[in-house]
Amino acid sequence: GESVGLHLPTLSVQEGDNSIINCAYSNSASDYFIWYKQESGKGPQFIIDIRSNMDKRQGQRVTVLLNKTVKHLSLQIAATQPGDSAVYFCAEAYYKLSFGAGTTVTVRA
């Protein structure tokens, strides 16, 4: 069955440093991956996506890397800011989205 997980449930980052959030997936047939950000008391917000025919995609201050060989996905946030404090979910999709449990990122001033 599908299993989407994040390596660490929590991550503490110094403001200004880069953050790396990891995610492992188990379904080798998954062809589409999404990262979401959920701030306290709010719904998940789409950050960036990547299709399986790519291994890297960049957005504004964020980069997603996909390693299909080891079924690993990561989200890199450059110059982490206090507003980046949130829970980050990865989701994999084949015929349906499967969401990971999330990593809580805390930014230290």
Give the interface with another protein as residue ranges (CB under 8 A).
32, 34, 36, 41-46, 49, 89, 93-97, 99-102
CB of 17 to another protein, least distance (A): 27
CB of 88 to another protein, least distance (A): 13
Q: Closer to another protein at the Cβ: 99 or 108?
A: 99
CB of 89 to another protein, least distance (A): 8
- The strand pair at 32-38 and 56-58 is best described as unpaired
- Type and span of the H or E element at 83: none
Q: Closer to another protein at the Cβ: 86 or 108?
A: 86
Q: Closer to another protein at the Cβ: 41 or 109?
A: 41
Indicate the DSSP class of residue 82: G
CA distances from 37 to 27, 43, 68 (A): 22, 8, 23
CA distances from 52 to 14, 102, 103 (A): 32, 21, 22
